[in-house]
């Protein structure tokens, strides 16, 4: 049989060479398009639904959030398993789909089902970021030796500036901060003064909410021009908070500064104040390169040259500093 095959190949040299060339070309194209990863993504296609209900027991979270979501999402096309966990104030539902399903289509269908779930007041279910459970994790630290930048300033810098630039890097799906101090405005209530002015805690809270808002108005005609009118009431500092009117008594305005004590405080989660730094996590797919992340940091520092230095560290403990623009 082998002799017959060899004889046929020798008798039809042109055909054999043509077929060999076609096979070689097809193999080259397939090799070029073949996805090769050092750490292949073998995780399931999944969608995570996260719902927060602060201050509630796990039993309440299970009955009023987790179970309604599970009932609503059951029956989705290509859905294989539904796994959930109910904790104090937190519900997590993991939906595992067939490997052949489209991830974007699965997420869209889950969103459609979540819109029909009846949840308690002021509770909203949301799907988690679009990342693989085995996605690479990069750790980076924002460090400042400038006394003008304390841990609170670094946290604000991360939340409002750095995170925006990192999310603009292709394939970055999430950027989560861990640590730091969140700035907040605090009002310490004096119960005796509240009673003397005939105020309750709910009234003081309502007045603070009403006073922290901007309102739109009409316009004033000045010759041939119209000047728009608006009321600016958003709180920008402690002084604005102290001037909030709680009530009027005998023609005299009772303000926060006359009945309470207000200040700009901090809400501490975890910090490393001695090092003036905070640590953060970025969920990145394997295809994301460090050069893209570093270039994003360079663009961020180009906006504010006096910002503190960014120090980034990868899972292999290799330290890289973001170049200053």
pLDDT, residue 239, reads 82
Sketch out the chain's domains with CATH numbers.
45-127 (3.30.70.1430), 136-179+271-321 (3.30.70.1430), 185-217+228-265 (3.30.2090.10)
Beta partners for 97? Answer: 45, 79
Question: pLDDT tens track of the chain, all 325 residues?
Answer: 788 888 888 888 888 899 999 999 999 998 888 777 666 667 788 899 999 998 899 999 999 999 999 999 998 998 999 999 999 889 999 999 998 888 889 999 999 999 889 899 889 899 888 877 666 666 777 777 777 777 788 788 888 887 888 778 777 777 777 667 777 777 887 788 888 888 888 888 888 888 888 888 888 888 888 888 888 888 888 888 888 888 887 777 888 777 655 555 555 443 333 334 444 444 444 444 455 555 555 555 555 544 555 444 444 433 344 433 3
Output the six-digit token pair for 191: 């119960």
pLDDT number for residue 317: 36
List, in order, residues 6 or more apart from 115 with CB less than 8 Å away: none
Query: What phi and psi values does residue 202 have, to the nearest 5 degrees?
Result: -65, -40
Tokens of 47: 């969608």
Cα-Cα-Cα-Cα dihedral sign, residues 37, 43, 45, 51: negative
Beta strands in the chain (DSSP E): 45-52, 79-87, 90-97, 125-127, 136-143, 174-178, 180-189, 215-222, 225-231, 245-249, 252-255, 260-270, 277-284, 310-313, 319-321
The answer to whether the CB of 173 falls within 8 A of the CB of 285 is yes
Q: Look at strands 136-143 and 310-313 and give their pairing.
A: antiparallel
- How much is the pLDDT for 235? 83
Residue 240: per-residue pLDDT: 82
Instruction: Give me the helix-helix angle, 13-33 and 2-11, nearest 10°.
Output: 100
Q: What is the CA radius of gyration of the chain?
A: 30
* pTM passes above 0.85: no
- The pLDDT value given to residue 281: 47
Cα–Cα distance, 185 to 263 (Å, whole number): 6
Cα-Cα-Cα-Cα torsion 263, 267, 272, 274, nearest 10 degrees, comes to 10
State residue 304's pLDDT score: 52
The answer to whether 254 and 248 are in contact (CB under 8 A) is yes
Going by the DSSP 8-state scheme, the letter that residue 165 receives in this structure is: H
Joined together, the tokens standing for residue 30 give 């397939």
Per-residue model confidence (pLDDT) at position 265: 52
């Amino acid at each position: 049989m082998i002799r017959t095959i060899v004889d046929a190949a020798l008798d039809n040299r042109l055909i054999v060479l043509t077929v060999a060339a076609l096979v070689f070309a097809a193999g080259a194209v397939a090799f070029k398009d073949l996805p090769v990863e050092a750490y292949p993504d073998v995780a399931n296609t999944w969608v995570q639904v996260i719902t927060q209900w602060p201050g509630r027991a796990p039993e309440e979270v299970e009955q009023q959030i987790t179970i309604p979501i599970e009932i609503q999402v059951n029956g989705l096309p290509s859905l294989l398993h539904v796994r959930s966990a109910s904790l104090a104030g937190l519900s997590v539902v993991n939906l595992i789909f067939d490997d052949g399903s489209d991830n974007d289509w699965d997420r869209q269908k889950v969103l459609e089902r979540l819109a029909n779930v009846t949840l308690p007041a002021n509770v909203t279910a949301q799907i988690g970021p679009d990342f693989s459970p085995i996605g690479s994790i990069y750790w980076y630290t924002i460090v400042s030796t400038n006394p003008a930048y304390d841990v609170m300033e670094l946290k604000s810098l991360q939340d409002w500036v750095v995170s925006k630039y990192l999310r603009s890097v292709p394939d970055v799906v999430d950027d989560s901060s861990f640590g730091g101090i969140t700035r907040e405005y605090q009002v310490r209530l004096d119960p005796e003064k509240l009673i003397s002015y005939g105020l309750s805690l709910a009234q003081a809270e309502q007045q603070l909410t009403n006073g922290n808002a901007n309102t739109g108005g009409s316009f004033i005609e000045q010759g041939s021009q119209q000047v728009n009118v608006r009321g600016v009431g958003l709180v920008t500092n402690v002084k604005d908070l102290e001037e909030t009117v709680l009530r009027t008594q005998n023609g005299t305005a009772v303000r926060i500064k006359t009945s309470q004590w207000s200040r700009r405080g901090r809400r501490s989660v975890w910090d490393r104040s001695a090092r003036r730094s905070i640590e953060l996590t970025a969920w990145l797919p394997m295809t994301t390169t460090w050069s893209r992340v570093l270039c994003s940091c360079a663009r961020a520092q180009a906006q504010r040259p006096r910002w503190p230095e960014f120090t980034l560290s990868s899972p292999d403990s290799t330290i890289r500093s973001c170049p200053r623009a």
